[in-house]
């Protein structure tokens, strides 16, 4: 598709170790870029609606933990399935914004939901934050950008955030710490 990733790392992921991978979410290319950057085995938590896309949906529902964001029961089941995957030694990728912000909004980073941070604390697994800089302008999720096209896709892999000593009451602090790391990176001038 003419995209070329440029990855800057503050830390390398340990082979065979589980992480909860999180990043900002603005494009369908976020999924492919996460797979490119992360060599540790993991599963995505993704919205159920995408399983309806022909062909893509066939593979998507077999490789992801699906969530109906409007159903509290579904969200609870996702948490249980993710716990099972973590117990198997896999990592989990959750885009904590809970969806893709509308392209028409001038929103740099939406608020984060608690799910990724609850999982990380409960299983004492580090949060692995990443910032994806260019995905929205390369391949907009809603296909509304006329400026989309080939080019560089910058990724910043931040230092992992350990959760070993955290309690469940610390999840909001962890959520905001992670969001601030990603937001600060997004606010840097383009180089």
Instruction: Report the alpha-carbon distance of residue 127 to residue 124 in Å, rounded.
Output: 9
Q: Quick one: tokens of 96?
A: 């904590």
pLDDT on residue 102: 56
Say if CB 130 and CB 94 are below 8 A apart: no
pLDDT on residue 55: 82
Instruction: Report the alpha-carbon distance of residue 103 to residue 122 in Å, rounded.
Output: 34
Say if CB 66 and CB 77 are below 8 A apart: no
pLDDT on residue 42: 93
H/E element, 127: strand 127-132
pTM of the model: 0.86
Classify strands 127-132 and 151-157 as parallel, antiparallel or unpaired: antiparallel
pLDDT on residue 13: 95
Q: Which residues of 25-62 are buried (b: 16+ CB within 10 A; e: fewer)?
A: bbbbbbbbbbeebbebebbbbbbbeebeeeeeeeebee
Sheet holding 91-93, edge to edge: 3-9, 151-157, 127-132, 20-23, 91-93, 42-47, 64-67
Which residue ranges in the chain fall short of pLDDT 70?
1-2, 99-107, 135-136, 138-148, 191
């Amino acid at each position: 598709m003419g995209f070329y990733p440029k990855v800057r790392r503050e830390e390398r992921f340990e082979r065979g170790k589980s992480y909860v991978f999180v990043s900002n979410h603005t494009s369908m290319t976020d999924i492919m870029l996460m797979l490119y950057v992360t060599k540790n085995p993991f599963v995505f938590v993704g919205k159920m609606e995408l399983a309806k896309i022909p062909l893509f949906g066939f593979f998507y529902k077999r490789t992801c933990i699906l969530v109906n964001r409007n159903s509290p029961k579904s969200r609870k089941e996702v948490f249980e399935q993710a716990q099972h995957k973590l117990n198997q030694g896999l990592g989990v990728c959750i885009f904590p914004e809970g969806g893709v912000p509308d392209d028409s909004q001038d929103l740099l980073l939406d608020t984060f939901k608690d799910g990724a941070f609850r999982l990380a604390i409960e299983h004492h697994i580090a949060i692995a934050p990443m910032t994806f800089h260019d995905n929205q302008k390369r391949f907009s999720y809603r296909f509304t950008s006329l400026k989309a096209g080939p080019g560089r896709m910058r990724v910043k892999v931040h230092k992992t955030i350990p959760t070993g000593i955290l309690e469940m009451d610390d999840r909001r602090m962890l959520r905001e710490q992670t969001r601030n790391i990603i937001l600060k990176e997004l606010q840097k001038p383009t180089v």
